[in-house]
Amino acid sequence: MEMRKEYIAIDAGNTQLKIAHFLNGEITEIHRIIFSDLHVFVKNNAHIAQLPGIISSVLNRENTLKIISFFSNCIELSNETKLPFQNSYATPTTLGKDRICNAAFAFYENLNGNSVTIDIGTCIKLDVITQKNGYEGGSISPGIDLRYKSMNDFTDNLPLIENREQIDLIGTTTIESMHSGVINGIQSEINDLILRYTQKYDGLTFFVTGGDAKYFDFHSKNNIFAIENLTLRGLSHLFLFND
Protein backbone atom coordinates (compact mmCIF):
# COMPACT_ATOMS: atom_id res chain seq x y z
CA MET A 1 0.00 0.00 0.00
CA GLU A 2 1.38 3.41 -1.00
CA MET A 3 2.30 5.68 1.89
CA ARG A 4 0.42 8.96 2.19
CA LYS A 5 2.85 11.84 2.64
CA GLU A 6 0.96 14.59 4.42
CA TYR A 7 2.53 17.92 5.33
CA ILE A 8 1.95 21.68 5.39
CA ALA A 9 3.64 24.76 3.95
CA ILE A 10 3.11 28.12 5.64
CA ASP A 11 3.77 31.40 3.86
CA ALA A 12 3.61 34.20 6.44
CA GLY A 13 3.43 37.47 4.53
CA ASN A 14 2.90 41.04 5.62
CA THR A 15 -0.89 40.97 5.24
CA GLN A 16 -1.88 37.34 5.81
CA LEU A 17 -0.75 33.81 6.53
CA LYS A 18 -1.34 31.18 3.87
CA ILE A 19 -1.35 27.64 5.24
CA ALA A 20 -1.40 24.97 2.54
CA HIS A 21 -2.14 21.33 3.25
CA PHE A 22 -0.29 18.94 0.92
CA LEU A 23 -0.96 15.28 0.26
CA ASN A 24 1.56 13.42 -1.92
CA GLY A 25 2.90 16.70 -3.27
CA GLU A 26 -0.47 18.20 -4.21
CA ILE A 27 -2.35 21.00 -2.46
CA THR A 28 -5.64 19.79 -1.01
CA GLU A 29 -6.66 23.02 0.74
CA ILE A 30 -5.35 26.49 1.59
CA HIS A 31 -6.29 28.51 4.65
CA ARG A 32 -5.82 32.28 4.53
CA ILE A 33 -5.86 33.99 7.91
CA ILE A 34 -4.61 37.17 9.56
CA PHE A 35 -1.91 36.85 12.20
CA SER A 36 -4.20 37.79 15.11
CA ASP A 37 -6.47 34.81 14.28
CA LEU A 38 -3.65 32.28 14.34
CA HIS A 39 -4.44 30.88 17.78
CA VAL A 40 -8.08 30.35 16.78
CA PHE A 41 -7.04 28.53 13.63
CA VAL A 42 -4.71 26.22 15.55
CA LYS A 43 -7.40 25.48 18.13
CA ASN A 44 -9.91 24.55 15.41
CA ASN A 45 -7.43 22.67 13.18
CA ALA A 46 -5.34 20.63 15.60
CA HIS A 47 -4.58 17.93 13.03
CA ILE A 48 -3.07 20.42 10.58
CA ALA A 49 -1.10 22.17 13.32
CA GLN A 50 0.58 18.89 14.29
CA LEU A 51 1.72 17.97 10.78
CA PRO A 52 5.35 18.24 9.67
CA GLY A 53 6.10 20.99 7.21
CA ILE A 54 7.94 24.20 6.51
CA ILE A 55 7.44 27.87 7.42
CA SER A 56 8.51 30.90 5.40
CA SER A 57 8.01 34.18 7.25
CA VAL A 58 8.78 37.82 6.45
CA LEU A 59 7.38 38.93 9.81
CA ASN A 60 9.54 40.22 12.66
CA ARG A 61 11.37 37.68 14.79
CA GLU A 62 8.89 37.81 17.67
CA ASN A 63 5.90 37.00 15.48
CA THR A 64 7.83 34.41 13.49
CA LEU A 65 8.77 32.59 16.69
CA LYS A 66 5.12 32.65 17.72
CA ILE A 67 4.15 30.93 14.47
CA ILE A 68 6.89 28.34 14.98
CA SER A 69 5.59 27.66 18.50
CA PHE A 70 2.16 26.81 17.11
CA PHE A 71 3.59 24.49 14.43
CA SER A 72 6.33 22.74 16.37
CA ASN A 73 6.86 19.97 13.79
CA CYS A 74 7.72 22.43 11.03
CA ILE A 75 11.14 23.61 9.96
CA GLU A 76 11.81 27.27 9.22
CA LEU A 77 13.09 28.39 5.83
CA SER A 78 16.23 30.44 6.44
CA ASN A 79 19.49 31.42 4.80
CA GLU A 80 20.92 28.16 6.19
CA THR A 81 18.31 25.94 4.52
CA LYS A 82 19.77 23.59 1.92
CA LEU A 83 18.78 24.50 -1.63
CA PRO A 84 18.55 22.12 -4.60
CA PHE A 85 20.28 24.68 -6.82
CA GLN A 86 23.30 26.96 -6.65
CA ASN A 87 22.62 30.41 -5.17
CA SER A 88 24.68 32.92 -7.14
CA TYR A 89 23.14 35.99 -5.47
CA ALA A 90 25.87 38.39 -4.31
CA THR A 91 24.14 39.05 -0.95
CA PRO A 92 22.38 35.77 -0.11
CA THR A 93 21.56 36.84 3.47
CA THR A 94 19.35 39.64 2.09
CA LEU A 95 17.50 37.45 -0.41
CA GLY A 96 13.77 37.34 0.31
CA LYS A 97 12.35 33.98 1.27
CA ASP A 98 9.52 34.34 -1.24
CA ARG A 99 12.08 34.75 -4.02
CA ILE A 100 13.84 31.57 -2.87
CA CYS A 101 10.52 29.70 -2.96
CA ASN A 102 9.74 31.01 -6.44
CA ALA A 103 13.17 29.94 -7.63
CA ALA A 104 12.63 26.46 -6.20
CA PHE A 105 9.37 26.11 -8.09
CA ALA A 106 10.96 27.19 -11.37
CA PHE A 107 13.96 24.92 -10.83
CA TYR A 108 11.84 21.79 -10.38
CA GLU A 109 9.26 22.65 -13.03
CA ASN A 110 11.85 23.38 -15.70
CA LEU A 111 14.78 21.08 -14.92
CA ASN A 112 16.18 21.22 -18.44
CA GLY A 113 15.90 24.94 -19.15
CA ASN A 114 16.22 28.52 -17.99
CA SER A 115 13.35 30.25 -16.21
CA VAL A 116 12.08 33.59 -14.96
CA THR A 117 9.39 33.91 -12.31
CA ILE A 118 7.20 37.03 -12.33
CA ASP A 119 5.51 37.63 -8.96
CA ILE A 120 3.05 40.55 -8.99
CA GLY A 121 1.99 41.50 -5.47
CA THR A 122 2.94 44.23 -3.00
CA CYS A 123 6.17 44.42 -5.00
CA ILE A 124 6.82 43.13 -8.51
CA LYS A 125 9.65 40.62 -8.48
CA LEU A 126 11.32 38.98 -11.44
CA ASP A 127 13.82 36.23 -10.66
CA VAL A 128 16.13 34.29 -12.97
CA ILE A 129 17.05 30.62 -12.54
CA THR A 130 19.45 29.10 -15.07
CA GLN A 131 20.90 25.64 -15.56
CA LYS A 132 24.43 27.03 -15.48
CA ASN A 133 24.37 29.29 -12.41
CA GLY A 134 21.19 28.34 -10.54
CA TYR A 135 19.56 31.36 -8.94
CA GLU A 136 21.11 34.50 -10.46
CA GLY A 137 18.95 37.38 -9.17
CA GLY A 138 16.41 39.66 -10.79
CA SER A 139 14.52 42.86 -10.10
CA ILE A 140 12.14 44.40 -7.54
CA SER A 141 9.82 47.35 -8.16
CA PRO A 142 6.69 48.78 -6.49
CA GLY A 143 3.38 47.02 -7.06
CA ILE A 144 -0.02 48.56 -7.78
CA ASP A 145 -0.87 49.78 -4.28
CA LEU A 146 2.59 51.21 -3.66
CA ARG A 147 2.41 53.23 -6.89
CA TYR A 148 -1.03 54.59 -6.10
CA LYS A 149 0.03 55.44 -2.55
CA SER A 150 3.24 57.18 -3.61
CA MET A 151 1.34 59.55 -5.92
CA ASN A 152 -1.04 60.44 -3.10
CA ASP A 153 1.70 60.72 -0.45
CA PHE A 154 4.09 62.90 -2.44
CA THR A 155 1.66 65.29 -4.12
CA ASP A 156 -0.93 67.71 -2.77
CA ASN A 157 -3.67 67.18 -5.35
CA LEU A 158 -3.59 63.58 -6.55
CA PRO A 159 -6.14 61.34 -4.78
CA LEU A 160 -5.61 57.85 -3.42
CA ILE A 161 -7.30 55.41 -5.81
CA GLU A 162 -7.68 51.66 -5.80
CA ASN A 163 -8.76 50.73 -9.34
CA ARG A 164 -7.15 47.55 -10.60
CA GLU A 165 -8.91 46.45 -13.76
CA GLN A 166 -7.33 47.00 -17.17
CA ILE A 167 -7.92 50.44 -18.68
CA ASP A 168 -7.60 52.22 -22.01
CA LEU A 169 -4.24 53.71 -22.83
CA ILE A 170 -5.49 57.31 -22.76
CA GLY A 171 -7.00 58.57 -19.50
CA THR A 172 -9.54 61.37 -20.02
CA THR A 173 -9.70 62.38 -16.34
CA THR A 174 -7.01 62.74 -13.68
CA ILE A 175 -8.10 59.52 -11.97
CA GLU A 176 -8.18 57.64 -15.27
CA SER A 177 -4.75 59.04 -16.15
CA MET A 178 -3.31 57.86 -12.83
CA HIS A 179 -4.95 54.49 -13.31
CA SER A 180 -3.58 54.18 -16.85
CA GLY A 181 -0.12 55.21 -15.70
CA VAL A 182 -0.02 52.52 -13.05
CA ILE A 183 -1.68 49.58 -14.82
CA ASN A 184 -0.38 50.22 -18.34
CA GLY A 185 2.97 51.28 -16.92
CA ILE A 186 3.40 47.99 -15.09
CA GLN A 187 2.27 46.06 -18.16
CA SER A 188 4.84 47.86 -20.33
CA GLU A 189 7.55 47.48 -17.70
CA ILE A 190 7.16 43.73 -17.48
CA ASN A 191 6.71 43.28 -21.24
CA ASP A 192 10.03 45.08 -21.77
CA LEU A 193 11.79 42.99 -19.13
CA ILE A 194 10.43 39.80 -20.72
CA LEU A 195 11.89 40.93 -24.06
CA ARG A 196 15.25 41.83 -22.53
CA TYR A 197 15.51 38.58 -20.58
CA THR A 198 14.61 36.63 -23.73
CA GLN A 199 17.45 38.36 -25.57
CA LYS A 200 19.91 37.54 -22.79
CA TYR A 201 19.01 33.87 -22.07
CA ASP A 202 18.25 31.00 -24.41
CA GLY A 203 15.07 28.95 -24.17
CA LEU A 204 13.41 30.88 -21.35
CA THR A 205 10.19 29.79 -19.68
CA PHE A 206 8.26 32.42 -17.72
CA PHE A 207 6.07 31.60 -14.71
CA VAL A 208 3.62 34.35 -13.65
CA THR A 209 2.04 34.45 -10.19
CA GLY A 210 0.94 36.80 -7.41
CA GLY A 211 -2.31 38.28 -6.15
CA ASP A 212 -2.35 41.08 -8.74
CA ALA A 213 -1.23 38.99 -11.73
CA LYS A 214 -4.82 38.66 -12.90
CA TYR A 215 -4.93 42.33 -13.87
CA PHE A 216 -2.31 41.86 -16.58
CA ASP A 217 -2.01 39.86 -19.76
CA PHE A 218 1.23 37.99 -20.45
CA HIS A 219 -0.12 34.78 -21.88
CA SER A 220 -0.09 35.27 -25.64
CA LYS A 221 3.07 33.18 -26.03
CA ASN A 222 3.53 29.47 -25.38
CA ASN A 223 6.50 30.00 -23.01
CA ILE A 224 4.55 32.07 -20.45
CA PHE A 225 2.46 30.22 -17.85
CA ALA A 226 0.19 31.53 -15.10
CA ILE A 227 0.73 29.46 -11.95
CA GLU A 228 -1.56 29.76 -8.95
CA ASN A 229 0.07 29.39 -5.52
CA LEU A 230 3.54 29.24 -7.09
CA THR A 231 5.30 30.39 -3.90
CA LEU A 232 3.61 27.73 -1.78
CA ARG A 233 4.45 25.07 -4.34
CA GLY A 234 8.07 26.15 -4.29
CA LEU A 235 8.03 26.01 -0.50
CA SER A 236 6.72 22.44 -0.77
CA HIS A 237 9.65 21.50 -3.01
CA LEU A 238 12.07 22.92 -0.43
CA PHE A 239 10.45 20.93 2.37
CA LEU A 240 10.67 17.68 0.44
CA PHE A 241 14.30 18.38 -0.46
CA ASN A 242 15.18 18.95 3.19
CA ASP A 243 12.95 16.25 4.70
DSSP string over 184-203: HHHHHHHHHHHHHHHHHSSS
What residue type is assigned to position 2 of the chain? E
Catalytic, out of 11, 98, 119, 127: 98
pLDDT of 126 over the 60 cut: yes
Asked if residue 164 is part of any domain, the answer here is no
With beta carbons less than 8 A apart as the criterion, state whether 50 and 44 touch. Answer: no
pLDDT band, residue 3 (cuts 50/70/90): low
pLDDT of 228 over the 70 cut: yes
Q: Are residues 48 and 120 in the same domain?
A: no
Q: State the total domains in the chain.
A: 2
Asked if residue 217 is part of any domain, the answer here is yes
Q: Are residues 34 and 97 in the same domain?
A: no
Distance of CA 229 to the CA centre of its chain: 8
Cα separation, 62 vs 94, in Å, equals: 19
* Percent of the chain at pLDDT exceeding 90: 86
| pLDDT tens-digit series, residues 19-62 | 999 999 999 999 999 999 999 999 999 999 999 999 999 899 99
| pLDDT tens-digit series, residues 196-214 | 999 999 999 999 999 999 9
| pLDDT tens-digit series, residues 153-171 | 999 999 999 888 888 999 9
**Could you tell me the pTM of the whole model?**
0.92
Q: 9: which strand partners?
A: 20, 54
Domain range holding 114?
Answer: 92-144+174-242
Asked if residue 1 is part of any domain, the answer here is no
Mean pLDDT of the chain: 93
pLDDT of 2 over the 60 cut: no
Asked if residue 85 is part of any domain, the answer here is no
Tally: H helices and E strands in the chain: 7, 10
Asked if residue 149 is part of any domain, the answer here is no
Parallel, antiparallel or unpaired: strands 114-120 and 204-209: parallel
> pLDDT at position 15, please?
81
> pLDDT at position 69, please?
95
Q: Are residues 227 and 115 in the same domain?
A: yes
pLDDT band, residue 1 (cuts 50/70/90): very low
Asked if residue 153 is part of any domain, the answer here is no
Cα separation, 39 vs 117, in Å, equals: 33
- Higher per-residue pLDDT: 133 or 220: 133
CATH number where 224 lies? 3.30.420.40
Annotated active-site residue 98? The verdict is yes
Asked if residue 205 is part of any domain, the answer here is yes
